[in-house]
Amino acid sequence: MFKQIVGSLRYLCNSRLDICFAVGLISRFMEDHRQSHMKAAMRILRYISDTLDFGILFPKSAVNAKSEIICYSDADWCGDKVDRRSTTSYFFKYLNALVAWCSRKQPVVALSSCEAEYIAGSYAACQALWINSVLKELKINVKKPITLQIDNQSAINLAKN
């Protein structure tokens, strides 16, 4: 039963980014799950049933909207207590609508919160370059360079240096 629920939730993650992290977390216990993991899966199902009317809206008309892309990047330092790896997350907004996002564990163990944030920012910068090239191929003119927002002052200073 647990595997069926998690499989269905993983399929639902394609259209519901708000549950991706939680589903990814309980997916790690597919083979050796406990009662607490089943409770977490049921809590996710309850959350989905309560938020069926919510969604991501893309503006219909963007006449007065600023044609710019903003990226927000964040990381948690040593978020996973088992292997001590941090979780990187970032998302991109275009015309004030969410267009791309990611949340995943970092492949290396960061030794400080500055390093974890810097790694997250570098992944976001790589994605920003790719998004910029896709927009150029689609002949979409973005007036400003992509803005990368990072909330860690040490990581910002490290990137500037």
Q: What is the pLDDT of residues 48-105, one digit of tens each?
A: 999 988 766 666 665 666 678 899 999 998 887 788 899 899 999 887 778 888 888 8
**Rounded-to-integer distance, Cα 152 and Cα 161, Å:** 14
| 2-54 pLDDT per residue, tens | 999 999 999 998 888 788 889 988 998 988 999 999 999 999 999 999 998 87
Q: What is the pLDDT of residue 64?
A: 61
- The first and second tokens of residue 135, run together, are 């927009």
Q: Decide: helix, strand or coil at residue 11.
A: helix
Q: Where are the domains of the chain?
A: 2-50, 69-160
Query: pTM of this prediction?
Result: 0.69
**Residue 67 has what pLDDT?**
76
87 touches 103 (CB < 8 A): yes
Tell me the per-residue pLDDT of 112-146, one tens digit each, with 9 for 90 and over.
Answer: 999 999 999 999 999 999 999 998 898 888 888 88
CA 129 vs CA 69, 99, 103, 145: distances in Å? 11, 14, 18, 10
- Whose tokens are 């030794």? That residue is 111
Position 141 scores a pLDDT of 80
CATH T-level topology, domain 69-160: Ubiquitin-like (UB roll) (3.10.20)
Q: Is the pLDDT of residue 159 over 70?
A: yes
Q: What is the pLDDT of residue 160?
A: 87
Give residue 146's Cα distance to chain centre.
Answer: 17
Residue 16 to residue 13: CA distance in whole angstroms: 5
Write down the residue that tokens 């941090």 correspond to. 86
* Order of strands, sheet of 87-94, starting from the edge strand that comes earlier in the sequence: 97-105, 87-94, 69-76, 147-150
Q: How far is CA 77 from CA 15, 43, 141, 157, in A?
A: 28, 26, 37, 18
Task: Please give the pLDDT value at position 135.
Answer: 86
